[in-house]
Structure 1
Amino acid sequence: MIDRRKFITGAATLGIGTAFAESFAMPESPYGRKVVGRAKKIKHNPIGVSSYSFWQFNGPKEEVPMELCIEKAAAMGFDGIEFLLVQMSSEENSYLQKLKKQAYHAGLDLMGFSTHQGYVYPEKEKREENIAKTIHQIELAYQLGIPVMRLNTGRWGTTKSFDDLMANKGIEPALEGYTEDDGFAWVIDSIVQCLPVAEKCGVVLGLENHWGLGRTAAGVKRIVDTIDSPWLQVTLDTGNFLEDRKAQMELLAPQTFLVQAKTYYGGGKWYTLDIDYPEIGEIMRKNNYRGYISLEFEGNESPETAVPKSLEVLRESFYYDL
C-alpha cells in the first residue's frame, strides 16, 4: 500500500498536492497529534427516562419498583433516570441512598425528580401545607443528588374527574368568587417561600406546563418572570400543549432547564399527539439547550418495545453543535 505521508509529500513536490493536503488537514489536539474529525462536530443531548414510563399508574406501584426501573433504563441504553416520587416505595434515607448507589453502578445519572404539589387554594393553611411539602421534596432531591425538580402550580379542582379534565383539554373554571389573578398571586407567593431551600440544596425548581395555571406557556412564563430567580426555571413538557404547540414551546425554550418528551406508541392513555421531534430539536438548538431530555412514555404499547423506540427517536432529534 502507498504510504499516505509520502504520497502527499510527493504530490506537493510536483506542485499538485497543496489543495489535496489541506483538505486532509486536521486540527491539532492539546497532545500534539492530529485529531480525526469532521468539519462540523455535534454532540447529542443526554437522554433520560422517567420511571413513570414503565408504570403509568397502571396497577400497584409495587409491581414496578424503582429498582426495576433503574435496571431497565440501564439495559435500554439511557444516560439517566428521572424518579417519580409517588412511585417510590419509601422516603427513608437508607432507601434513597440504595437507589443512588444502584443507579451509579448502572452508569445512570439521577437527573430529575418529578413531584406533585399545588398552591391554588384560597385557604392559607392549605397553601402552607403544600409549601412545607415542596420544601420536604427539595430536601429529598438533595439527598438523592438530583439537580432539578419538577414543580406544578396546582389547579382549581372544579373539574373532579381527571378524565373529564383531559376531555376538556385541561381547561377548568376558577372557584366561584375568585379569579385567575388570585390564583397566580397564591402560586407566586408560595414558590417564593420555597426558593431559599432550593438555593441552599442546589436544586433548581422547574415549573412545568402541567394543567392548572401552568396549562399555557403564558401562564408558566408569568410566574417565572415575576419571581425572576435562577432557582426557578422551566420544565418543558412536549405533550401538555394541546394547541399552538410550536409557538408555546418557542416561548418557554429560553428558560427551559429540563425537557420532558412524551411518546404515544399504541395510542395515548387520554389522547394521542403527533409530535414533530426534529422540529422541537431545532427549537432547542436555536436556544443553545444542552441539558437532559427525559422520556415520558404515555402510550398503550408495552414499554418493553415502545421505550427503546422512543429513545431512538429522541437520540436522532436532540443534538447541538460543538
Structure 2
Amino acid sequence: MDTHTPAPDRRTFLKTAVASLPLLATAGTMPLAVWQVGSSTAKSRLLKLSCNLYSFNEPLMSGQMSLNEVLKFCSDLGFTAVDPTAYYLSNYPALPDDHYIYQIKRAAFRLGLDISGTGVRNDFTIPDLTRRKAEVTLVQKWTDVAARLGAPVIRIFAGTGKELPVGYKREEVTTWVVDAIRECTEYAARKGVMIVVQNHADFIQTADHILDIIRQVNSDWLAVNLDIGSFKIGDPYQQIARVAPYAATWQLKENLFVNGKEVETDLTKIMQIVRESGYRGYLPIETLGKGDPREKVPAFYEKVKKAVAVSE
C-alpha cells in the first residue's frame, strides 16, 4: 500500500506560505514605526552597540592610528559594530578601489564586527543646481561603496550651514533638499542601502525641520540618523522622543544641549525613549572634545552598556 503523501503543487504551496506571513503582504505600505514594534525581550536582544569612528578622528586623521588599529581596538572593547565615515577611507572623496573596500570588510568580519553604517559630508542647500547635482552624485557613488562594504545605511546631511543662502527662504531651500534626497533614496533603493539624514545643528536644527523633510520625501528607504547632541534649541529630550520613531540609527553622545547649555546626557532618559519608540538595531556612540579616545571611548561605552542593561 502506498502511504506517500503527494507534495503540494506550487500554487497550493504559495497560498499556504502567503497565508502564514500576513505581515509581508503589506510590508511596502507599513510606516517605519510599525516595523519596530515587538516584545520587550526581542528589543533587548536586538539593541547592539556600535562605535562611530569620528570618536577617533584626531588619531585617524593624524596617522597616529590606522583604521585597522581602530577596528581592533573596538573589537577588543566589545563593540558589535563600527560606523566609519567615508573620509577615513583611502582617497576620499575619490572612490577607493574594490580591493581596498573588501580588505576593510574582511578585517571587520574577522574581528567579529559588523559595519553598521558609513557617511559622507554633503550639502543640498547650495543654490547652484549644477553643484547640487554634484552633491547628489557624491552621495550616490558612496552609496555604492556602502553596499560593497555591507553597510545597511549611509549618513548624509541636508545642508552644512546654519544660515540660509542669501536671498532665499527656508521653504524654497527645503524643496531643493527634498528633491535631492528623493533622488538619492531612489538610487539607494536599487542598491539595498538606506539613506539616513542626520540632524546636525546646521540646516536641520529642530525636530520639525527633520520631520518635515522625512515626510515630504516619503520613502521607505529614508530614515533618520538621530544625533542626540545636535538639538540645541529648547528641550532636546522632547525633540529626540518625537524623532525616535523615524530613526534607523543613532549617535549617542556624552553631552547634549538643554536650552542651549551643554550638559551631561541623561542616559536613563535616552534609553527610555529608545525603548518606547520600539527601536531595534545599532546604537552607535560618539565621543567628542579633548582627550585620548582610547580612554574616552571605553569610559562612555561602559556607561551606555550599563544604561542599556538597566533598561531591559
**Structure 1 residue 44 displacement after superposition:** 6.4
**Structure 1 residue 317 displacement after superposition:** 2.0
Verify the 8 A CA contact 1:53 1:298 in the aligned structure 2. Answer: yes
1:84 corresponding residue in structure 2: 85
Verify the 8 A CA contact 2:125 2:158 in the aligned structure 1. Answer: yes
Q: CA RMSD in A?
A: 2.0
**Structure 1 residue 93 displacement after superposition:** 1.2
**Structure 1 residue 302 displacement after superposition:** 1.4
Are 2:113 and 1:108 equivalent residues in the alignment? yes
Whole-Å separation in 2 of the counterparts to 1:181 and 1:62? 42
2:283 corresponding residue in structure 1: 293
Selected match of 2:50 from 48, 51, 71: 48
1:74-118: CA deviation from partner (whole Å, max 9, x where unpaired): 111111000111122242211110000000000000111022111
2:64 corresponding residue in structure 1: 63
Verify the 8 A CA contact 1:263 1:299 in the aligned structure 2. Answer: no
Are 2:267 and 1:262 equivalent residues in the alignment? no
1:310 corresponding residue in structure 2: 300
Choose between structure 1 and 2: higher helix proportion. 2
Whole-Å separation in 2 of the counterparts to 1:319 and 1:124? 48
Partner secondary structure for residue 45 of structure 2: strand
What is the one-letter code of the residue matched to 1:124? Answer: L
**How many equivalent pairs are there?**
261
Whole-Å separation in 1 of the counterparts to 2:65 and 2:171? 40
What is the one-letter code of the residue matched to 2:105? Answer: K
1:155-179: CA deviation from partner (whole Å, max 9, x where unpaired): 34xxxxxxxxxxxxxxx43222111
2:144 corresponding residue in structure 1: 139
Selected match of 1:253 from 244, 252, 272: 244
Verify the 8 A CA contact 1:112 1:147 in the aligned structure 2. Answer: yes
- TM-score, normalisation: structure 1: 0.76
Partner secondary structure for residue 178 of structure 1: coil
Structure 1 spans left out of the alignment, 5+ residues: 1-39, 157-171, 265-270
Identity level (%): 25
**Structure 1 residue 319 displacement after superposition:** 5.7
Whole-Å separation in 2 of the counterparts to 1:93 and 1:319? 39
Verify the 8 A CA contact 1:153 1:213 in the aligned structure 2. Answer: yes
Whole-Å separation in 2 of the counterparts to 1:272 and 1:298? 13
1:203 corresponding residue in structure 2: 193
Larger-gyration structure (1/2): 1
What is the one-letter code of the residue matched to 1:60? Answer: M
Verify the 8 A CA contact 1:184 1:213 in the aligned structure 2. Answer: no
Q: Quick one: structure 1 residues 43 and 316, their matched pair in 2 at CA, closer, same or farther if it must change by over 3 Å?
A: farther
Selected match of 1:242 from 226, 232, 236: 232
What is the one-letter code of the residue matched to 1:178? Answer: Y
Partner secondary structure for residue 213 of structure 1: coil
1:133-166: CA deviation from partner (whole Å, max 9, x where unpaired): 010011010010100111100134xxxxxxxxxx
Q: Quick one: structure 1 residues 206 and 320, their matched pair in 2 at CA, closer, same or farther if it must change by over 3 Å?
A: farther
Whole-Å separation in 2 of the counterparts to 1:88 and 1:215? 28
1:200-234: CA deviation from partner (whole Å, max 9, x where unpaired): 11111111101332221111110001111110000
Verify the 8 A CA contact 2:199 2:227 in the aligned structure 1. Answer: yes
Selected match of 2:124 from 114, 119, 124: 119
1:47-76: CA deviation from partner (whole Å, max 9, x where unpaired): 010121112x46834333211111111111
Whole-Å separation in 1 of the counterparts to 2:73 and 2:273? 30
Whole-Å separation in 2 of the counterparts to 1:127 and 1:200? 21
Verify the 8 A CA contact 1:110 1:145 in the aligned structure 2. Answer: yes
Verify the 8 A CA contact 1:115 1:149 in the aligned structure 2. Answer: yes
**Structure 1 residue 321 displacement after superposition:** 8.5
